[in-house]
Structure 1
Amino acid sequence: MEYKGYTGTVEFSVPDKCFHGRVLGITHLFTYEGNTFDELEKDFKEYIDDYLFDCEQERVKPQKPFSGTLNIRIGSELHKNIALEARKKEKP
């Protein structure tokens, strides 16, 4: 699901007999649920609207999902090897 640039998952819990999901791409943990898909979608959109409203009220910038920045840990040895290989391929 997508709404105002935010993406949410759609899953179904057999034991609970309900749909649930979470917002992807931000550090805040937002979950939502519903007995039908329509209820799930409504809850998802309400969470996003509430989040954006709260950010506005608190004068903080809302997190942008999938901002284009990716931080990964690859280990110092691999980092060094990649940097050295990249340096070798540079043209003088």
Structure 2
Amino acid sequence: MINVMKIDGYDAVINYDPDIEMFRGEFINLNGGADFYAADINGLQTEGKASLAMFLKMCEEDGVSPKKQYSGKFNVRLSPELHESLVLKAAAAGKSINQLVVDSISHTVADGF
């Protein structure tokens, strides 16, 4: 199931909330929170545009960039056994651990949604 909706060039993850019997959209990669709710796709698009417009207006008023900036670094926690296997696999491939992880993630992300 593809649960990403693009609204005015920004991505939002969509999930269904059975407790309120509505879909919830949440924009990602923003410097703050912007979410919206609706019962159907048309409503999600309408509410998403309104939520995004409000968020962008607030960013402009506050003089901040709406998009989150990423450093390109993140920590990963894994078991000692998996860490050991990763070191072995990287060495056998003639790569650093970092390059093996980047290659693996690139392959996974390139598969798309």
Stretches of structure 1 that go unaligned for 5 or more consecutive residues are 87-92
Distance 1:70 1:63, change over 3 A: same
Residues matched between the structures, number:
78
**Normalised by the size of structure 1, how large is the TM-score?**
0.63
8 Å Cα contact 2:31-2:66 kept in structure 1:
no
Stretches of structure 2 that go unaligned for 5 or more consecutive residues are 78-82, 97-113
Distance 1:70 1:14, change over 3 A: same
The CA RMSD measured in Å over matched residues stands at 2.7
Residues 12-91 of structure 1: matches in 2 within 5 Å? 12-64=16-68, 69-74=71-76
In the TM superposition, what is the alpha-carbon distance from 1:20 to its structure 2 partner? 0.9
Residue 71 of structure 1 aligns with an amino acid whose one-letter code is K
Determine helix, strand or coil for the equivalent of 2:27. strand
Percent of aligned pairs with the same amino acid: 17
Identify which of structures 1 and 2 has the higher relative contact order when contacts are C-alpha pairs closer than 8 Å and 6+ apart. 1
Determine helix, strand or coil for the equivalent of 2:56. helix
**Normalised by the size of structure 2, how large is the TM-score?**
0.54
Aligned twin of 1:90: none
More helix, by proportion: 2
In the TM superposition, what is the alpha-carbon distance from 1:4 to its structure 2 partner? 2.8
Aligned twin of 2:8: 4
